[in-house]
Structure 1
Amino acid sequence: MSATDPDLLARAQAGDSAAFDALVAPHRRRLHTHCYRMLGSPHDADDALQETLLAAWRALASFEGRSALGTWLYRIGTNVCLRLISQRPRRLVSSEYGPAFEQTAELGAPVPGPVWIEPLPDDDGLADEAVEDPAAALQRRERVALAFVAALQHLPGAQRAVLLMREVLEYTAAETAEALETSTASVNSALQRAQKTVAEKLPAVSQAAELQALGTEGLERLLGAFARAWDARDVPGLVALLTEDARFTMPPLPAWFDGRAAVARFLTERVFQTPWILRPLRANGQVGYACYLRAAGDDRFRLGGITLLSLRAGRIGGLHSFLDPAVHQRFGLPMEIAAPDR
């Protein structure tokens, strides 16, 4: 049965909640990803999606089918996000919160609250890749990358919505204007301003394009060298894989380190004072690791961070480690693993 089957819609409009769930099921994941792009946090996107579906349920009797159900849902979801944006500060990356740290002895207290850009597991945002052609898959990765989501947060809510509706959802200017209750001229003007701001914030080459340029074999070589150096606590070997301006960030801690020398010092003086085990994962269309550490006196390794790598010209330009346990839970990973047999 099609999700837009008239009988299914009629039953949902008559109050059948199971029919409503079936009606919106094909749209839930993409709606969530849209809300994530708007808000910069999968947890905020959870709230927005829940509010969107509740509003849709309450208003379903008035849905007359003049537009596609998905279009109607996106309209509701976008306006929910716009309201949330007006009530909350924008999400930040570490370099926007404060200057890089020069010393490693004190990393600062965790900064709580809705402050930081948070990662989205690929299972949430990229599940369509298996059935997409390579060009579409590349575009989808670009539109969920951390850098793109972070750039969006610099836009006023209305510009954010216009850019996503026009360039990601591929609505016409007229459809976007109708959804946002504004004029086509306003939409076109907002799109131009949004495009300019985002272009200024984005790297010259997207992470998706960097991965494509490396290719499968090149990526395997780079990640293999990274994992071997990390396992051996080989700081010179790791530093050799970094760009000169590589960064190491670790929200919700305010500390971050800028440049190969600073990152090398942090690895030596802090990171490798503790044993680690890495397990590969992907989020935001980027490669990364679940990082398990073993504290002194402990016989197990416990999940300490989700680290995503930013790549540039075949090297690693950023290690973005997310230390918040609430972020870790999103990935459905074991919280601890046994020490490997040596």
Structure 2
Amino acid sequence: MTDARPLDADETTFIAAARAGDAARFALITERHRRALQVHCYRMLANYADAQDMTQETFLRAWHKRESFKGHAALRTWLYRIATNVCLDFLEKRDDRTPVPSGLPDAGSEVLYLQPYPDRMLPEDPQESVVARETIELAFIVAVQHLPPRQRAVLVLRDVLGWPASKAAEALELTVASVTSALQRARVTMREQLPDRRLDWRSPATHELSDDERGVVKSYIDAHERNDLDGLTALLRDDLRFAMLPDAGTSTRTARDAVDGWVSGGLFQRGHDDWRGITTTVNRMPAAALYLRSPGDPEYRLFAVAVLHVVDGKIAELTGFDATGKPWLGLPPAL
């Protein structure tokens, strides 16, 4: 990262702004990287609100360190380095940012702090979008949370961003040998967490929903609106993996357990049986935004977002999120 390189216009302006202490110009240039940095923080932290906060902290830290940018590395690389270390500092101070046992036999663990990521906030850079779905889907984000923080950072820098080992080592103040070893261990864990998933994240991958996925979301919403439990059950694979976050202990591994749990919890019973839904996407995954109308209420109120992983026309994984009080999802609060 010390080789001489020509500066682009933004970098030249950035250096001039830094030397002049021009906060307005500094903010204008760094703001162009906000979405990419926020996704990077989200991959590290699995929480949208935390990612927002750490992106802002990245800009504050960049301002305080502005004199250290000499143009030896690209401005984007310099900001990614700061963001990575901001996230590592955050994780070092928090003891509630690791998966916890689900409390159910053979049900693995739950990431209770997991939040969905609104697609409207994903980077518009086509190069970022090429890999966005593979590395923003919930299964990937959850799997990354099973890595120790520095392994997490190494995996994201090396396998997602495609940084060479030397650049990752310098960013994390590690040796190349340490980075290589951490990456090998991280890949083993990722294979264990994602045994049936594509793991070559640097190869081009589509981020468009398939007709199958769109059809399943429509059927899922229709079943809710008709209170059709048989139809809903038919959409679920027998080995469904379901979790409702941020509640603990809701993880199940069968379709019947999931449906029985919804009914015993009061859903589809009087007062919780008047549904409407709209098709959406979060984390570049098919999702249903579910709205519930209470007796006497003229409007359907946003209730939950169900994010679906569809395999062969059926729902293999369903992650539900409480959608109330989350305007950043970009969903209408009522229908």
Count matched residues. 315
- The residue that corresponds to 1:284 in the other structure is 283
TM-score between the two structures when normalised by the length of structure 1? 0.84
1:182 maps to amino acid: L
1:123 pairs with 2:120:
yes
Q: Does the C-alpha gap of structure 1 residues 118 and 59 become closer, same or farther in structure 2, counting only changes over 3 Å?
A: same
Q: Does the C-alpha gap of structure 1 residues 142 and 81 become closer, same or farther in structure 2, counting only changes over 3 Å?
A: same
Moved more, 191-200 or 316-325: 316-325
- The residue that corresponds to 1:229 in the other structure is 223
- The residue that corresponds to 2:168 in the other structure is 176
In the alignment, the residues of structure 2 paired with residue 123 and residue 315 of structure 1 have an alpha-carbon distance, to the nearest angstrom, of: 26
Q: Does the C-alpha gap of structure 1 residues 90 and 172 become closer, same or farther in structure 2, counting only changes over 3 Å?
A: farther
Deviation of 1:127 after TM superposition, in Å, equals 3.4
Deviation of 1:138 after TM superposition, in Å, equals 5.6
Query: Which segments of 5 or more consecutive residues in structure 2 lack a partner in the other structure?
Result: 1-7, 106-110
2:306 maps to amino acid: T
Deviation of 1:137 after TM superposition, in Å, equals 4.4
In the alignment, the residues of structure 2 paired with residue 83 and residue 216 of structure 1 have an alpha-carbon distance, to the nearest angstrom, of: 39
- The residue that corresponds to 1:37 in the other structure is 43
Deviation of 1:141 after TM superposition, in Å, equals 0.4
Q: Does the C-alpha gap of structure 1 residues 206 and 331 become closer, same or farther in structure 2, counting only changes over 3 Å?
A: farther
Aligned ranges for residues 205-284 of structure 1 at < 5 Å?
A: 205=197, 216-256=210-250, 257-269=252-264, 270-273=266-269, 274=272, 275-284=274-283
Q: Does the C-alpha gap of structure 1 residues 4 and 138 become closer, same or farther in structure 2, counting only changes over 3 Å?
A: closer
1:67 pairs with 2:85:
no
Q: Does the C-alpha gap of structure 1 residues 92 and 238 become closer, same or farther in structure 2, counting only changes over 3 Å?
A: farther
Q: Identity rate of aligned residues, in percent?
A: 38
- The residue that corresponds to 1:109 in the other structure is none
TM-score between the two structures when normalised by the length of structure 2? 0.85
Query: Which segments of 5 or more consecutive residues in structure 1 lack a partner in the other structure?
Result: 101-113, 338-342
In the alignment, the residues of structure 2 paired with residue 221 and residue 144 of structure 1 have an alpha-carbon distance, to the nearest angstrom, of: 22
- The residue that corresponds to 2:139 in the other structure is 147
Moved more, 38-47 or 290-299: 290-299
Contact 2:276 2:292 survives alignment (8 Å): yes
Bigger share in helix: 1
In the alignment, the residues of structure 2 paired with residue 56 and residue 213 of structure 1 have an alpha-carbon distance, to the nearest angstrom, of: 32
Q: Does the C-alpha gap of structure 1 residues 123 and 99 become closer, same or farther in structure 2, counting only changes over 3 Å?
A: same
1:298 pairs with 2:303:
no
1:167 pairs with 2:159:
yes
In the alignment, the residues of structure 1 paired with residue 209 and residue 319 of structure 2 have an alpha-carbon distance, to the nearest angstrom, of: 22
- The residue that corresponds to 2:24 in the other structure is 18
Deviation of 1:226 after TM superposition, in Å, equals 2.2
1:198 pairs with 2:200:
no
In the alignment, the residues of structure 1 paired with residue 206 and residue 234 of structure 2 have an alpha-carbon distance, to the nearest angstrom, of: 22
2:257 maps to amino acid: A
Give the secondary-structure state (helix, strand or coil) at the position aligned to 2:281: strand
Q: Does the C-alpha gap of structure 1 residues 267 and 96 become closer, same or farther in structure 2, counting only changes over 3 Å?
A: same
Deviation of 1:237 after TM superposition, in Å, equals 1.1
Aligned ranges for residues 80-91 of structure 1 at < 5 Å?
A: 80-89=86-95, 91=97
Deviation of 1:97 after TM superposition, in Å, equals 3.4
Alpha-carbon RMSD across the aligned residues, in angstroms, is: 2.7
In the alignment, the residues of structure 1 paired with residue 43 and residue 130 of structure 2 have an alpha-carbon distance, to the nearest angstrom, of: 17
Deviation of 1:324 after TM superposition, in Å, equals 5.5
